[in-house]
Amino acid sequence: MTRKPVDPKPVYLAVYDTLADWETGHTTAYLARAGHGIRTVGASGDPVRTIGGLRIQPDLTLDDVRPEDAALLILPGADLWDTGDELAPFARTAREFLAAGVPVAAICGATAGLAREGLLDDRAHTSAVSFYLAATGYAGGDRYVDTDAVTDGDLVTAGPTEPVAFAREVLGLLGVYEGEVLDAWYRLFHDSDPGAYEVLEAAGK
């Protein structure tokens, strides 16, 4: 139903307490349908609980993660991004991925974590609102784009209300969908456009 991914390596999904359940579902579901394994990564091997109360047992720990083994690192939002430095190791891991040329996708509070790590200082990016990131004291305010989701090189960012746009950027970046098919996928899930379904059906997606 989907085209074979350019890179079938697994996708790493960071998981931690207070993870925002709604932000990455479209992304991980359609990456999985395209052939990518989804592997959850925790700070330790201990289970975590999402905002919705779901219990997740991490597949891997940060110590197990190597950028060259993965196609992408996804950083969801979580309350913990704004309450201390507990999640800072995940932002440092994002730095390692980007330095190795492996994509990173961050949504909601994870964008603030990247801002604190200095990863948004010289990349176009977005988030919930510009002043949310400004409160981190980062130096990238002039690169903030007031839009639903942004891709700059190997980095995708989005705000908490844009899980479908976030998925669109990731699916496009990894080559799962392209062109009018990618646009139709977005219109179907974001706008409930019945005409978009016809495009996807005609393309065998």
Residues assigned a catalytic role: 108
Phi then psi for residue 178, to 5 deg, are -140, 160
| Distances 161 to 80, 87, 122, 187 between C-alpha atoms, Å | 18, 21, 24, 16
CB atoms within 10 A of CB 155: 23
Calculate the CA 112 to chain-centre distance. 13
Q: Say how far apart CA 155 and CA 157 lie, in whole Å.
A: 7
DSSP structure class, residue 128: S
Tokens of 139: 């130096």
Contact 186, 164 (CB under 8 A): yes
CB count in 10 Å sphere of residue 27: 29
